[in-house]
Amino acid sequence: MLNPLYFAHRLLLSCAIVTSLSANSTVTDNANDGEKLVEKTVLYSDGPYVFTQDKHLDAHWLCHGEKVSQRLTLSTEQVDNLASKPIAVSACDLPATIHNLINQEHEILEYNGDFPVAALSDFHGQYDLMIELLTNNNIIDKNQQWAFGNGHFVITGDIFDRGDKVTEILWFLYDLEQQAKKAGGEIHLTLGNHEVMVLNGDLRYLHPKYIETAKKLNKPFEQLFTSDSIIGNWLRSKPVLVKINNMLFAHGGFHPDLAKDKRTLVDINRVFKDNLVKAELDKPREGWAEVLHTTNGPIWYRGYFAADRGKDNGATSAEIDLLLKHFKVKHLIVGHTSQKQIETRYQGRVIAIDSSIKRGQYGEILFIENEKKWRGSLSGKVLPLYHQ
């Protein structure tokens, strides 16, 4: 007698196949066993990828599986007035607004003032969940416009990889950044390991959509984000850390050796950024530059979560105190290592803000105002921040 679990398994498999069918699916015969096999044809849409050449803008999309391109020739007046009169491009319901051709390096790494702060991490292509989370927590309004006033909104990296709406997130944040500035607020996007991986051609976590995009646009995926592309140039302007009031933010974290060696925030950011993309360097990374781009660097370090993971040599409580004293902060706030919710470590001195948005089911935002801290849930509910 056959095990009932066998039939349950076959039923689930059949449901999965039916669910995966689309308007573009085809059914073919298998000559060996006579069964019908489903060949799924996905016609992806993606973009735009916009490149600058003198006063030209070359925009490219993947529209339902086919390449679509537009060229715009800008007048000198248009180039000079882009900041106040941005230019919009659009195809196949994928618009983008271009605010400038060249983004200046973010050299200001420290901000102080009486303003609210919100922070989260690791969107990983989950655009729809991001919009829901930001809307319900009043970072944006129902029209997806900035609603956080003079607040500072921090995203500690990892927009890229895994999910299938990376490009939408990039253009959304690129535009929202300008809205925030006009309202007296700020968006701080710090680089994560997945931004740096993509810029360096490490594409192991790409969604199939982007593999297809690169194929149809006839460019390696990383070359869609070169320094002469609008988004590639924008990403290169971003820092790897930011200090706001008494909080220090980065994607992975700060190894205790940075404090022991008395490294400054300016030096960490400068050396990291000067060695960002291997293919653009005159010589290979070496010495401290190489260290900053490996396991103990600010985009990869997981030492605050060693006990959770059962590996790595974690930072001790004394080393956390040393880091806080050296950088003159009360909290280290990091993403990279996924949690079920926003949590703390070391009695609240370290705050983990990667709430597993990448899974596409849930996410949270950390809020800080007048020394008070709380979590904003996906529905917008105010939740306490527990210390561990």
Which of 246, 242, 262, 260 lies closest to 335, judged by CA? Answer: 242
- The C-alpha atoms of residue 155 and residue 313 are separated, in whole angstroms, by 26
pLDDT for 54: 86
Print pLDDT tens along the chain (388 aa): 444 444 344 434 343 333 333 334 333 334 444 455 555 778 999 999 999 998 899 999 999 999 999 999 999 999 999 989 999 999 999 999 999 999 988 889 999 999 999 999 999 999 999 999 999 999 999 999 999 999 999 999 999 999 999 999 999 999 999 999 999 999 999 999 999 999 999 999 999 999 999 999 999 999 999 999 999 999 999 999 999 999 999 999 999 999 999 999 999 999 999 999 999 999 999 999 999 999 999 999 999 998 776 666 789 999 999 999 999 999 999 999 999 999 999 999 999 999 999 999 999 999 999 989 999 999 999 999 987 6
pLDDT for 299: 98
Q: Residue 101: what are its φ and ψ, rounded to 5°?
A: -90, -30
Integer-rounded Cα radius of gyration of the chain: 23
Q: Which one-letter amino acid corresponds to residue 105?
A: E
Would you call 360 exposed, middle or buried from its count of C-beta atoms within 10 A (0-12, 13-18, 19+)? middle
- The C-alpha atoms of residue 294 and residue 122 are separated, in whole angstroms, by 19
Q: Which one-letter amino acid corresponds to residue 73?
A: T
**CB–CB of 147/182 below 8 Å?**
no
Q: In what order do the strands lie in the sheet with 66-73?
A: 46-53, 56-63, 66-73
- The dihedral built from the CA positions of residue 148, 150, 155 and 160, taken in this order, carries a sign that is positive
